[in-house]
Each structure stands twice: as structure tokens, then as C-alpha cells.
């Protein structure tokens, strides 16, 4: 009997320790009150409505998978202003409903996941026009360090000063970051390098694997510089995103073994809108839909670059073993360029390239060979409305697979626009996307 009672008491103690009924809800009025809290799994911190200006907010603690620690605003979309910033520092922390506006950072990123953070989440939040008055001032809007962190259902719009909008930073171990269901709103051309919307890694860390995922986002007129997304690490997945009238490209800039699949690039004939640019080894580009892009050379629908003989970490590495397959390219100015960027130093052509089973319709230029790829396969690509080249065949009305690919891609685009819930739930205004 004693042993039975002991087991019951131990069980009750275990449940009391991990039961959210015992979690505490705190209401706070400023960043200092948040920092003073000793938060435990399941605790909630609610930011009261009021003046949240010039607040350096730090959410620190260790939640669990089942009992995260949550920071909420009294009203979703509550404005955080002035020189305010947020640091997420711990494990299983969730930040929900913040809206940064009417201010700018004086030094650091607006929102930072710390190097020790793991399994943390920023959701249902926004940063709108949070710009330093000096347009050359460089800070990121979101810096993602740590591992297994997620940014989802957020809006980031109107960045007009230098610096990448969102950066995933690397370390010796993969980060497994997840960036999904966000709306990245218009960003003007800065006229200088460093204005990417997303960058995954840096040149110095590019040979390390990241395993980041960027999925189900909308990139709307993200024109900060030539690279909309810059992949500078290994083993990343960029899938099921919409790039709408973006003047630039999704670029495999450094690193190897990444995949770009099932994305939509809609240019609507806007000048210099681009597609996908390949550099590095074992990159895989498949099942993307690219329409109405006017970019050429480095901004063509599919641009496969030349490289240097002995590149430094920040230079151009040879394209090796790339696969470009099952993509649909419609009404683009230049569908495919091989050897893009060739000049007196970029003299090394792609090798072991596969360009296969793509569908190209009404493109002004089917394929441009700036250089000749080595030991490569270009075959079974279906074409309508462009003069044929070797490796390309006429798309016939009864060519079931090619026509099915086209119909599937267009239906997937409609499904994406209808069904994906992108951006904060409390935002009433929806992006005006005209798919022609």
C-alpha cells in the first residue's frame, strides 16, 4: 500500500510540474518588467496596451515543446515604435502579434534570435517602414541565429535602407531554420549590393550545411538588389513561394546541394524581372513556373553561370552536376542562358549539366550559349512559339506530359493564391496581385 501511495504522489507531482494549469500569466507595461520575470514552461507574458516606445525587449527562458513560453500583445498588431528592438533568447519561446512601426533601430537587428536560441518562433507579427533616416545605414530587420527557429505568418514591408531584410546566420552545426507563410512587401532598388530580401549564410560559411526551408511565402516587388533570395550555404530548400514582379533573381550564390522547386515567378513584363540563377555544385531546380519575365543574361528565367578557375570564397564557383528539370517557362524574354556572365576571368563553363523535360512557351529567346557546357545533357524539352534548338522538340497538342505539366503549374498557382494564408491574421489589407 505504501508503494502504491508513493507512486500516486510521484505521479501527481510530475503532473503538477508539467501541467499548464500551473503556468502563470503576467501582464507587463515595459521591457524592464519583462526582463525581471523568471519564466517557466507554459508561462504567458501579455504586453498591455500603451506606449511601447524605445523599448529593448528581451524574452528569455526555457519552455518545452508542449509548454512553450509565450509573449503576446493585448491586441494583435499592437504598435512597438521608436528605437525598439526584440531579442528572443532561450528555448521554445513564442512571440505573437507584435507590430514594429514608426521608428528605426540605432544599431542591431530589429528582431534577433540569439545564438543560443532553439525551437523558438516569431509569428503573426509585422515590421513596416522601420527605416533609419540615413539610407546607407545597414541593419537587418530580422537576424535568425540558433537552431530549429521559425518565422511564420509575418509581414515585412517597405525597407528602404541598406541591409538584408532577413538573414539566417550559420555556425558549425546546421540551423534547420524555417521561414514560411510570410508576406515580404515592396522594397525599392537600393542601387548597391546588400539589399537582399532573404540571405541564408555568408561567403565565409558557405561550405557549411544549413538545412533551412523557405516555403509558402509571397515576395511582392522585392527589388532591393539583383538577388531576391541569396543562398550562401548548403542543403537548403526553397519551395512553393510566389515571386511577384521582383526585379532580381533567386540565386544559388555560394554553397552546394540546395533545391529550388515548385515556386512561381510572375513578372507581368516588368523590366528586369528575373528567375533563378545557378552557381555551385549539385543544385536542383525543378517544377517551377516562370511567366512574363523580361530579364536577360544573369536575370533570365534560368541563368546558369560561368565560374573562375580558382575562386575565393566570395567569388564564382563552377556549376557542377546541376539538374534543371520539369520547369514551365511562359512568355519570357530569355528562357535559358548557359555560361552566363562569361568574361576574361569567368572562363570555366558548367559541367555535367542536365536540362531535361522543361516546357518553354512563347519565349523570345529559347536558349543562349554564352559558353559551351562540358559533358552535359540537354534533351526532351518541349517548345511552342520559338525556333527549335538541339535538345528541344515541338510541343504538340497531343503531347500529354508537357501539356499536363503546364496545366498542373497554372492550377497550382491558383491554388496557392486561394488557399495559402500568408502574413499576419490580423492584417485586413491583402496584397493586390494581378496575375495576367
What is the H or E stretch that residue 404 is in?
Answer: helix 400-419
> 288, 286, 231, 285: which is closest to 256 by C-alpha?
231
- CB of 263 within 8 A of CB of 309? no
**Does a structural domain hold residue 216?**
yes
The 10 Å CB-count burial string (b at 16+, else e) for 149-172 is: bbbbbbbbbebebbbbbbbbbbee
Give domain status of residue 428, yes or no.
no
Q: Name residues whose C-beta falls within 8 Å of residue 25's C-beta, 6 or more positions apart in sequence.
A: 43, 44, 46
Cα–Cα distances in angstroms (integers) from residue 405 to residues 9, 239, 357, 410, in the given order:
62, 17, 10, 9
> What are the helix (H) ranges across 28-155?
31-35
Backbone angles phi, psi at 94, to 5 degrees: -125, 130
231's grid cell: 543562398
For residue 70, give the C-alpha cell.
509565450
Query: Is 282 within the bounds of a domain?
Result: yes
Q: What is the CATH number of the domain that holds 86?
A: 2.160.20.10
- Nearest alpha carbon to residue 108 among 85, 88, 90: 85
3-state helix, strand, coil in the chain (%, to 5): 10, 35, 50
Angle 52-57-60 from CA coordinates, rounded to 5°: 145
Residues in the chain: 436
Strand, coil or helix: 400: helix
Task: Report the distance separating Cα 172 and Cα 333, nearest Å.
Answer: 41
Q: Which three cell numbers stand for residue 202?
A: 555568408
Domain assignment present for 432: no
In a domain, 14, yes or no: no
Q: Is residue 238 part of a domain?
A: yes
Total-model pTM = 0.93
- Cell reading at 31: 521591457
Sign of CA dihedral 69, 146, 80, 420: negative
Question: Hunting for cell 572562363 — which residue is that?
Answer: 347
Closest to 392 (Cα-Cα) out of 375, 379, 373: 379
Domain assignment present for residue 208? The answer is yes
Query: Do residues 66 and 94 touch, judged by C-beta distance below 8 A?
Result: no
Report the alpha-carbon distance of residue 301 to residue 293 in Å, rounded. Answer: 7
Q: Please tell me the total count of domains within the chain.
A: 1
Picking from 43, 47, 46, 45, the residue whose alpha carbon sits closest to that of residue 24 is 43
Nearest to 183 by CA among 132, 127, 120: 127
Parent domain of 364: 25-419
Can you point out the beta strands (E) in 341-421? Answer: 354-356, 359-361, 365-369, 377-379, 381-384, 392-394
| Set of cell numbers at residue 307 | 565560374
Provide the mean pLDDT of the chain.
Answer: 93
**What dihedral angle (degrees, nearest 10) is formed by the CA atoms of 158, 163, 167, 169?**
-170
Encode the chain (436 residues) as per-residue pLDDT tens digits: 445 444 434 444 444 444 555 899 999 999 999 999 999 999 999 999 999 999 999 999 999 999 999 999 999 999 999 999 999 999 999 999 999 999 999 989 999 999 999 999 999 999 999 999 999 999 999 999 999 999 999 999 999 999 999 999 999 999 999 999 999 999 999 988 889 999 999 999 999 999 999 999 999 999 999 999 999 999 999 999 999 999 999 999 999 999 999 999 999 999 999 999 999 999 999 999 999 999 999 999 999 999 999 999 999 999 999 999 999 999 999 999 999 999 999 999 999 999 999 999 999 999 999 999 999 999 999 999 999 999 999 987 666 677 777 788 888 888 888 888 999 999 988 788 888 7
Which cell is 63 given?
A: 519552455
| Residue 8: predicted pLDDT | 38
Look at residue 238 and give its three-state secondary structure: strand
pLDDT in tens, 371-394: 999 999 999 999 999 999 999 999
Comparing CA positions, the residue from 9, 13, 14, 107 lying closest to residue 56 is 107
Say if 10 falls within a structural domain. Answer: no
User: Which of the 8 DSSP states describes residue 67?
Assistant: S
Coil vs helix vs strand at 401: helix
Amino acid at each position: 500500500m505504501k508503494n502504491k501511495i508513493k507512486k500516486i504522489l510521484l505521479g501527481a507531482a510530475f503532473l503538477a510540474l508539467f501541467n499548464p494549469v500551473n503556468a502563470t500569466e503576467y501582464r507587463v507595461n515595459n521591457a524592464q518588467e519583462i526582463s525581471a520575470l523568471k519564466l517557466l514552461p507554459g508561462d504567458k507574458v501579455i504586453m498591455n496596451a500603451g506606449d511601447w516606445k524605445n523599448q529593448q525587449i528581451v524574452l528569455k527562458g526555457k519552455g518545452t515543446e508542449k509548454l512553450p513560453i509565450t509573449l503576446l500583445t493585448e491586441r494583435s498588431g499592437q504598435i512597438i515604435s521608436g528605437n525598439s528592438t526584440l531579442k528572443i533568447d532561450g528555448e521554445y519561446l513564442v512571440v505573437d502579434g507584435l507590430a514594429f512601426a514608426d521608428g528605426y533601430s540605432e544599431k542591431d537587428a530589429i528582431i534577433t534570435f540569439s545564438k543560443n536560441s532553439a525551437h523558438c518562433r516569431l509569428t503573426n507579427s509585422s515590421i513596416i517602414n522601420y527605416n533609419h533616416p540615413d539610407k546607407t545605414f545597414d541593419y537587418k530587420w530580422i537576424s535568425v541565429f540558433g537552431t530549429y527557429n521559425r518565422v511564420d505568418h509575418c509581414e515585412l514591408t517597405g525597407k528602404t535602407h541598406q541591409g538584408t531584410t532577413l538573414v539566417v546566420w550559420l555556425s558549425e552545426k546546421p540551423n534547420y531554420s524555417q521561414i514560411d507563410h510570410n508576406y515580404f512587401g515592396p522594397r525599392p532598388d537600393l542601387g548597391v549590393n546588400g539589399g537582399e530580401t532573404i540571405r541564408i549564410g555568408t561567403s565565409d560559411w558557405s561550405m557549411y550545411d544549413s538545412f533551412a526551408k523557405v516555403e509558402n511565402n509571397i515576395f511582392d516587388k522585392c527589388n532591393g538588389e539583383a538577388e531576391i533570395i541569396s543562398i550562401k550555404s548548403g542543403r537548403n530548400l526553397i519551395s512553393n513561394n510566389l515571386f511577384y514582379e521582383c526585379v532580381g533573381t533567386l540565386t544559388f550564390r555560394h554553397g552546394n546541394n540546395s533545391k529550388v522547386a515548385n515556386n512561381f515567378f510572375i513578372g507581368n513584363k516588368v523590366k528586369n524581372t528575373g528567375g533563378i540563377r545557378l552557381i555551385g555544385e549539385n543544385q536542383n531546380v525543378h517544377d517551377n513556373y516562370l511567366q512574363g519575365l523580361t530579364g536577360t543574361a544573369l536575370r533570365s528565367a534560368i541563368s546558369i553561370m560561368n565560374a573562375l578557375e580558382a575562386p575565393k570564397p566570395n567569388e564564382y564557383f563552377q556549376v557542377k552536376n546541376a539538374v534543371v528539370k520539369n520547369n514551365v517557362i511562359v512568355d519570357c524574354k530569355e528562357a535559358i542562358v548557359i555560361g552566363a556572365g562569361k568574361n576574361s576571368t569567368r572562363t570555366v563553363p558548367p559541367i555535367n549539366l542536365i536540362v531535361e523535360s522543361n516546357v518553354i512557351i512563347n519565349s523570345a529567346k529559347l536558349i543562349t550559349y554564352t559558353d559551351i557546357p562540358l559533358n552535359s545533357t540537354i534533351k526532351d524539352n518541349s517548345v511552342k512559339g520559338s525556333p527549335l534548338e538541339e535538345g528541344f522538340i515541338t510541343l504538340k497538342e497531343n503531347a500529354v506530359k508537357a501539356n499536363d505539366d503546364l496545366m498542373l503549374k497554372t492550377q497550382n498557382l491558383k491554388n496557392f493564391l486561394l488557399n495559402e494564408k500568408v502574413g499576419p491574421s490580423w492584417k485586413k489589407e491583402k496584397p493586390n496581385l494581378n496575375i495576367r
